[in-house]
């Protein structure tokens, strides 16, 4: 390189360095302005909470980004005109919300967003630890039925087909059996030619989203919902947007506004025993949501994996609006997650596209799983297991009410989980940590919140996850003690 070129390059680097320093100085000035003491004038809110709320608001609107380092706490205290303890409490509050992380020698930084790695799928089995954060069957009915069935499988005329390739939609015999069973669940016909066999509902949802949407498309969902939809939308570059809820589920007026403003491709709903709130959409609300979806050309994705557990459920969207509904079913929540068996019932026009995505994803699902599921349906095992699960969930939900009777709970007698609203001053992440120290695993409300700006102060507990009712009572007793006596854990150490 010639001397002239070197001078040009050196000058460019110097200008870039000056520009970088200038940008950094401007950024530090912006951060310092966050803590102007004149901004903290709300007499009803403690100063530490106002500082925390100011930072949270900047994170929510994108002015503070993941990985950005905040000024030292002593500097913030000086700028805000408060003592160091107040600022330390503010940062403790932000850490409990999952918005800020602190590391020795590096100070405090804006936390990364929720990642798919936090999508926990298997329970932690350790001596003395009771993990209520992951769904488990409440009974051993599936294992007992499987043990009796396996020796008889070679006698089944479909057994020889287990070593062959199959169509991506699944073997015809499996689709026919599952379609017949699904029709009894949704209260309407479920033609086999519109049904695809999948490796559980999450696999089906992945294939559905890949088939119906393109990067940048908007998908709507409840503001608090099943965390798997968020991970999938991120992986497919889809834009997941929250819709306001109330105590009865998704609000029709909020859904109508979102449809008009965002032009979504689909809306994702868990209409029966909603995960995590346990709410079941009433018939009139279902009809209102379907009417809006139809008028705006929005597809309904009905994740109805809990329907088999609940008696007297309202009519499914797949029955009332089959032409705009993609229905997801699975045995994971009602029979056993280890079976990995699910189904998608879709409008005829979409079956081929979903099947193409399924072929790309895994070529075809395992016929052994399909044969086990089909035989359990035909032999009546599924019905017997379901009845056992329902009765056990009813007993365990009663146990939850008995032990946590002073706590704000949202329950359904036949739900496999309960939604626990936390009293002040608990934040969900802080309570999860405190519960973990007490030897109980629960799932933070943050895992279910689409927007970090509206994280519920609540946790989900899976009542079926304990190995017995006695173990569940022990776990609930520990949680009650944490709620009653553990608030000192929130206080920062100075």
Tell me the average pLDDT across 425-454: 88
The answer on pLDDT for 62 being more than 50 is: yes
The CATH number of whichever domain residue 460 belongs to comes to 3.90.1150.10
Helical axes 428-437 vs 84-96, angle rounded to 10°: 80
Q: What does each C-alpha distance from 99 to 226, 359, 429 come to in angstroms?
A: 21, 40, 10
Q: In 329-362, which positions are buried (b, 16+ CB within 10 angstroms) versus exposed (e)?
A: bbbbbbbbbebbbbbbbbbeebbeebbebbeebe
Q: Which residue has the higher pLDDT, 65 or 87?
A: 87
pLDDT band at 120 (very low <50, low <70, confident <90, very high): low
pTM surpassing 0.85? no
Residue 271 belongs to a domain = yes
The CATH number of whichever domain residue 281 belongs to comes to 3.40.640.10
Residues 148 and 289 in one domain: yes
Tens digits of per-residue pLDDT, 368-420?
Answer: 999 999 999 999 999 999 999 999 999 999 999 999 999 999 999 999 999 99
Residue 170 belongs to a domain = yes
> Which of 322, 352, 379 delimits the end of a domain?
379
Tell me the average pLDDT across 415-434: 91
Residues 257 and 304 in one domain: yes
Residues 362 and 424 in one domain: no
Residues 40 and 159 in one domain: no
Rounded Cα distance between 483 and 481, Å, is: 5
Residue 227 belongs to a domain = yes
The CATH number of whichever domain residue 84 belongs to comes to 1.10.10.10
Give the model's pLDDT for residue 226: 96
Give the model's pLDDT for residue 11: 47
Residues 215 and 134 in one domain: no
Residues 134 and 193 in one domain: no
Residue 4 belongs to a domain = no
Instruction: Look at the chain and count its residues.
Output: 494
Residue 3 belongs to a domain = no
Residues 48 and 60 in one domain: yes
The values of phi and psi at residue 88, to 5°, are -60, -40
The answer on pLDDT for 7 being more than 60 is: no
Tens digits of per-residue pLDDT, 318-347?
Answer: 999 999 999 999 999 999 999 999 999 999
Residues 399 and 470 in one domain: yes
> Which of 326, 350, 379 delimits the end of a domain?
379
- Report the SS3 class of residue 219: strand
Residue 5 belongs to a domain = no
Residue 8 belongs to a domain = no
Domain extent, residue 272, equals 142-379
Residue 11 belongs to a domain = no
Residues 129 and 85 in one domain: no
Mean pLDDT of the chain: 88
pLDDT band at 288 (very low <50, low <70, confident <90, very high): very high
Residues 239 and 345 in one domain: yes
The answer on pLDDT for 138 being more than 50 is: yes
Residues 242 and 203 in one domain: yes
Tell me the average pLDDT across 262-269: 98
| Tally of structural domains, the chain | 3
Residues 221 and 367 in one domain: yes
Tell me the average pLDDT across 449-471: 91
Q: In 431-440, which positions are buried (b, 16+ CB within 10 angstroms) versus exposed (e)?
A: bbbbbbebeb
> Which of 328, 353, 379 delimits the end of a domain?
379
């Amino acid at each position: 390189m010639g001397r002239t070129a070197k001078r040009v390059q050196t000058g460019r680097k110097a200008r870039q360095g000056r520009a970088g320093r200038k940008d950094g100085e401007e950024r530090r000035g912006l951060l310092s302005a966050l803590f102007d003491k004149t901004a903290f004038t709300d007499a009803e809110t403690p100063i530490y909470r106002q500082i925390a709320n100011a930072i949270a608001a900047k994170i929510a609107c994108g002015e503070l980004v993941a990985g950005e380092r905040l000024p030292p706490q002593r500097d913030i205290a000086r700028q805000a005109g408060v003592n160091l303890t107040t600022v330390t409490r503010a940062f403790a509050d932000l850490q409990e919300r999952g918005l800020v992380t602190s590391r020795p020698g590096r100070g405090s930084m804006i936390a990364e967003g929720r990642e798919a790695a936090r999508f926990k799928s298997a329970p932690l089995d350790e001596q003395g630890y009771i993990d209520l954060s992951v769904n488990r069957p409440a009974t051993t009915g599936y294992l007992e039925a499987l043990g009796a069935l396996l020796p008889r499988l070679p006698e089944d005329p479909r057994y020889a087909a287990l070593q062959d390739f199959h169509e991506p939609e699944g073997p015809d015999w499996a689709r026919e059996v599952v379609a017949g069973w699904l029709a009894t669940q949704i209260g309407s016909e479920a033609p086999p030619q519109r049904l695809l066999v999948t490796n559980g509902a999450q696999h089906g949802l992945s294939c559905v989203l890949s088939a119906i949407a393109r990067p940048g498309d908007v998908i709507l969902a409840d503001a608090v919902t099943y965390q798997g939809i968020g991970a999938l939308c991120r992986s497919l570059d889809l834009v997941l947007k929250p819709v306001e809820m109330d105590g009865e589920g998704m609000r029709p007026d909020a859904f109508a506004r979102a449809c008009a403003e965002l032009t979504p491709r689909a809306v994702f709903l868990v209409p029966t025993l909603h995960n995590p709130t346990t709410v079941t959409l009433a018939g009139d609300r279902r009809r209102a949501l379907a009417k809006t979806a139809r008028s705006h050309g929005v597809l309904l994705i009905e994740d109805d994996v809990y329907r088999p557990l609940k008696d007297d459920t309202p009519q499914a969207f797949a029955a009332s609006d089959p032409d705009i509904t993609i229905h997801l079913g699975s045995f994971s929540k009602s029979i056993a997650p280890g079976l990995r068996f699910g189904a998608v019932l879709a409008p005829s026009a979409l079956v081929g596209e979903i099947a193409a995505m399924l072929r790309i994803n895994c070529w075809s699902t395992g016929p052994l799983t399909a044969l086990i599921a089909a035989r359990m349906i035909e032999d009546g095992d599924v019905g017997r297991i379901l009845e056992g699960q329902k009765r056990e969930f009813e007993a365990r939900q009663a146990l939850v009410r008995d032990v946590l009777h002073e706590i704000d709970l949202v329950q359904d007698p036949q739900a496999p989980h309960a939604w626990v609203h936390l009293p002040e001053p608990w934040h969900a992440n802080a309570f999860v940590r405190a519960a973990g120290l007490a030897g109980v695993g629960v799932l933070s409300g943050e895992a279910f919140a689409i927007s970090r700006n509206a994280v519920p102060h609540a946790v989900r507990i899976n009542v079926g996850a304990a190995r017995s009712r006695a173990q569940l009572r022990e776990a609930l007793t520990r949680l009650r003690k944490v709620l009653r006596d553990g608030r000192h854990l929130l206080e920062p150490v100075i």
